[in-house]
Structure 1
């Protein structure tokens, strides 16, 4: 029996092809739809020229809705930034931050989104202040729980407490599956090796991560082994990643409304070697989650020094994996090749 969980794609996954002009917005939406990933998530700056500084043209928004209808897709989330610490050489005042969030709420509603993603750095007070406006617009604001943060981190706990105190149903969470990094990603290790990391130290770091050794001890151990700059960088990556437990999502499930299906590499047999998606899907099903898992490919930056990323093939493989884990009978397949 197929799961109630739905499959989607963050168009961020196609960032290389979008930037290089190899894929248009229609290509991105059509490709996702052909894979049965009908939920479409965007980053406004990537999909709409001029956003947010100059707004988005009515014609571009109309084209968006036309394509969503043409390929029978569903708008899921607009991921907004609010980079308030780099605003005109100063930090945004509280009222300016709230106004900026409201602007993104309006944009999300204009695109037919149910959710907008907030960066984890945004204060809960700002989101609580914007919540009544989000309620009016039928939008939920979801803070992204992203490594190195996790559901037991004091900053996330503070958000959770603020949301409950507010009583607003418009505030929630968007977990990024990168926080469940249970093995050192092979594409990371290979990149550091190409940069000159000593193989024996790279093996040590990989094994230490598998054994859950504290990152600072791993860094110290690598230094004592004579690690060069590349090897130290490989060890320091552990500071920002850890193997948190997927089951911690259960306590927060009533406020979890979208999932970032982060992945760094899908093997030819459609396995993500570093993130335990079988356990993740099991936890989501146990918690009664019925939203989207949106593919978010971020392995491109780890391989583009030696090969051209094929984001479409990587997304296809993850969608095959997800379809299998969700109990779907049809195997996702592409019908229309993307022009090179």
Structure 2
């Protein structure tokens, strides 16, 4: 089976917030690109979640739209910011209960997966796994930069998942951890925010040369950089160019992929994330789940130009179509 395409409605956050796109607009637009898989963040798509719940009529509207456009519910991305819960840290049992609540909501929406934030301890997810099994849902921890598949925290999750032996536990890699170049839209925004050109040029070059972030920050200070310049240098702490091939060792628990991107050029290329290599690795690992577009370039350009998330998603979907329909490396090797 081939890799499938979808869209996280988070990609349309700008248009959703400004009232330019309704839920129906988001689903219809995505399916028109051939991206039938639909992923949501509950707080964005359903007002009141999770504090006051979601009315049955809103869930019924969701299912009606899914059926109308022949879409496929894929994932409900939940939060659980347990460190800032009502001015205290949420106890273990409350964390598990909160995860179960999101599992139930995902089941109401017909989802196959719920996305767990990478900050959630593996013990919490293991404790919630039996409930997920009952609901026919998998809990996927998002492997998100600056973490990666060789990070001790992710290894701890992997070990806990294997020990638990539950098929309801897995991973959702975010392609932002494969940021091979510093995004031009980031650089342009930092310059507009006041970063001197020569410092911006240095940071971009240092990132491509894989200079240790602490040295870059120190050098920027010595260059007279402050405020926005240090902020730009700080981005190197939170991003890196990890190797897509590291996904292969975890493919048996990778069930969904976030197609993170910051900009798609007119020639259908994301200039900073190597999607050709990513798709090649996924094919090699016989991945047949969804890649859901996750556009996050809006926040880097909205001060200077009109955001057109729809066009950006269209371009990425066109790129993914070309890559997915291309040669299968496993078949070629055979």
What's the TM-score once normalised by structure 2's chain length? 0.96
Q: Check the 8 A contact 1:271/1:321 in 2, yes or no.
A: yes
Output the CA distance in 2 between the equivalents of 1:229 and 1:122: 31
Q: Distance in 1 between matches of 2:74 and 2:117?
A: 17
* RMSD of equivalent CA atoms: 0.9
Give distance in 2, aligned partners of 1:77 and 1:157: 23
What's the counterpart of residue 232 of structure 1? 230
Listed one character per residue, the Cα deviations across residues 289-316 of structure 1 (whole Å, up to 9, x for unaligned) are 0000000000011111111211101101
Shift of 1:195: 1.1
Structure-2 residue corresponding to 1:192: 190
Q: 2:49 aligns with which of 32, 48, 51?
A: 51
Aligned to 1:60, the other structure's residue is in SS state helix
**1:25 equivalent in alignment to 2:23:** yes
Cα deviation for residue 198 of structure 1 reads: 1.2
Structure 2 Cα separation of the partners of residues 194 and 20 of structure 1: 23
CA distance in 1 between partners of 2:32 and 2:125 (Å): 36
User: Which one of 208, 216, 221 corresponds to residue 223 of structure 1?
Assistant: 221
The answer to whether the 8 A contact 1:118-1:141 is kept is yes
Measure how far apart 1:44 and its partner are: 0.5
Q: How many Å separate the matches in 1 of 2:229 and 2:317? A: 33
Residue 281 of structure 1: aligned partner: 279
Which residue of the partner structure matches residue 241 of structure 1? 239
1:85 aligns with 2:83: yes
CA-CA distance at 1:217 after TM superposition: 1.1
1:147 deviates by: 0.4
Please, which of 166, 178, 181 is the counterpart of residue 179 of structure 2? 181
Among 276, 282, 293, which residue is 2:291 paired with? 293
Cα distance in 1 for partners of 2:230, 2:129 equals 43
Q: CA deviation at 1:35?
A: 0.2
Aligned 1:4-15 pairs, distance under 5 A? 4-15=2-13
Count of aligned positions:
326
Could you say what secondary structure the match of 1:305 adopts?
Answer: coil
Matches within 5 A, 1:97-176: 97-176=95-174
Question: Which deviations, in whole Å up to 9, do the C-alpha atoms of 1:135-165 show, x marking residues without a partner?
Answer: 0110000000000111111100000000000
Cross-structure match for 2:36: 38
CA separation in 1, counterparts of 2:166 and 2:234? Answer: 39
For structure 2, list consecutive stretches of 5 or more residues without a partner in the other structure.
327-334
Describe the SS at the equivalent of 2:264: coil
For the 8 Å contact 1:182–1:275, the answer to whether it is kept is yes
* Alpha-carbon distance in 1 for matches of 2:126, 2:199: 47
SS in structure 1 opposite 2:38? strand
Q: How far did 1:226 drift?
A: 2.0
SS in 2 for 1:184: coil
Separation (CA, whole Å) in 1 of partners of 2:145 and 2:196: 27
CA contact (8 A) 1:198 1:228 kept: no
Distance 1:321 1:219 in 2: 35
Match of 1:254 among 252, 255, 269: 252
Aligned to 2:5, the other structure's residue is in SS state: strand
Cα distance in 2 for residues equivalent to 1:201 and 1:12: 32
* Larger relative contact order, structure 1 or 2 (CA cutoff 8 Å, min sep 6): 1
Retained in 2: the 8 A contact 1:183–1:273? yes
Unaligned runs of at least 5 residues, structure 1: 329-340
